[in-house]
Copies of this chain bind each other. A is one copy, B any other.
């Protein structure tokens, strides 16, 4: 997957790490460790793939909160001298992707505010589908909004004076939210983790000595040598304080359809994470195995698009018996700083990141495996490179179905009109990509690869258009679109 948001001015900027489909965010929380800020930093570092635009950490020293957030990558923002100035045993952290064009510091998280009950810092992963309505109501009530992020909405809801206790006001606020959300929150003396009742996004709990850790993915626990305990349950509000852990279930009496985002397995989560009860890497191997059964090929080698297609390609190879081979060399030096100098040399762009290994490819019938085709341009140029390197045939296999629908639950797909599967027929796509054969995994195949929960508990809306929530009135949709375009 190539493609990348430019910085101001850097129109030719290409970054290795940019992903064309963007998760809204990654979260981490630490309770009760003297190096809370450092652990949050390391956790965020391992969740960097969930948001490359901005990063922030808020800590509590028991009396008040301190927050540092900025645009940029985790490692650039949190230098040792910055971490030193974030004292305390409680911390939350957040990484966030960038909306196109403008990178806005005001939307960086955590959001930290004073309100009648003290101070609170909030970070969010997901997308509320009733955000517009809630904002309108709050503004009518007199609220002001300094950002366009959902975290600010829940803070306003919690600040409403009607409730008597902090707990009550939290539950009341949560019950008004609709859509996909995980929150980590920090007050002077509490760490709180919240997951929406559908369970769209992952959030897990770990333990490191006496400290508790919350994280979007288990790879964050691994890095800091924390023990995985369990996932936060859909609809759970977990409060961690001096008295220990306490779980509240504000949606206990409501029937809510589980909707685990299957694209976390296909694309977003790191392969070394456990998400929704199973290994992401294993799921990806199975996706490749099923893909080989659904769409076999007569070929000499199976080649992954590195590194996104690695596991699926290996699975494909095992089932098909076609030898796995590395067909591209990845340049590890492409980072934020690489800029292609001139328009006339843009033709060189394709090979900057991946150079085909001619000796592996020449004269071969090649199966190339990737995890998804979004706009199609990158795939097309990979195929072209294989042909220039002498491939006799190119068979493309994709470890998920075609993307046709927007995600309202926290993934930033391109506009529908930019999705290749919405613009072309299967045959046209095949022709556009210039492949000898093309095979997408079926939705059934996709769901066959996940084993932890019943199939109907996964959200496949971006493939099927079957959304798990009401999407609100037109205003909400309009707001949602605008939020991405205009802010």
Interface residue ranges, A against B (CB under 8 Å)? 1-6, 8-9, 12, 16-17, 35, 38-39, 41-42, 45-46, 48-49, 58, 64-68, 73-76, 78-86, 106, 111-116, 119, 121, 135, 139-146, 155-156, 159-161, 219, 222-225, 270-272, 274, 279, 281-282, 307, 310-311, 314, 318, 323-326, 328-339, 341-342, 344-345, 347-348, 351-352, 355-360, 486
Contact = CB atoms under 8 A, between A and B. Distances in A.
B225 A145 contact: no
Closest A-B pairs by Cβ, 7 of them: A5-B85, A279-B359, A8-B81, A272-B329, A75-B338, A116-B139, A113-B144
A279 B335 CA distance: 27
A75 B331 CA distance: 12
A64 to B, nearest CB: 6
B8 A82 contact: yes
A450 to B, nearest CB: 14
Given A142-B159, A281-B360, A338-B45, A16 B332 contact: yes
A347 B225 contact: yes
A211 to B, nearest CB: 13
Given A5-B66, A8-B79, A318-B323, A144 B159 contact: yes
Contact of A159 (B2, B12, B139, B314): B139
A169 to B, nearest CB: 10
A2 B67 contact: yes
A2 B59 CA distance: 9
25 contacts: A2-B113, A2-B121, A4-B66, A5-B85, A8-B82, A12-B80, A17-B333, A39-B345, A41-B341, A45-B338, A45-B352, A49-B333, A75-B334, A114-B144, A114-B146, A115-B143, A116-B142, A140-B161, A142-B161, A219-B355, A270-B355, A279-B357, A310-B326, A314-B324, A335-B335
Nearest to A218: B358
Q: In the complex, which of the residues A35, A65, A121, A271 has the most CB atoms of chain B within 10 Å of its own CB atom?
A: A271
B114 A342 contact: no
A163 to B, nearest CB: 10
A75 B5 contact: no
A67 B80 CA distance: 28
Nearest to A52: B333
A331 B335 CA distance: 13
B75 A332 contact: no
A5 to B, nearest CB: 3
A346 to B, nearest CB: 11
Contacts of A224: 345, 348
Nearest to A311: B326
A2 B73 contact: no
A464 B77 CA distance: 47
Contacts of A279: 357-359
A38 B282 contact: no
A345 B38 contact: yes
Contact of A144 (B38, B156, B352): B156
A159 B143 contact: yes
A342 B83 CA distance: 10
A146 B5 contact: no
Nearest to A329: B272
Contacts of A68: 4-5
A253 to B, nearest CB: 27
A339 B140 contact: no
A432 to B, nearest CB: 23
Contacts of A42: 345, 348, 352
B223 A355 contact: yes
Nearest to A139: B116
Contacts of A58: 2
A419 B79 CA distance: 33
A5 B81 contact: yes
A85 to B, nearest CB: 3
A41 to B, nearest CB: 6
B326 A281 contact: yes
Given A8-B82, A224-B348, 5 more contacts: A1-B114, A5-B66, A12-B80, A141-B142, A225-B348
Given A113-B146, A332-B16, A3 B66 contact: yes
A192 B32 CA distance: 49
Nearest to A351: B223
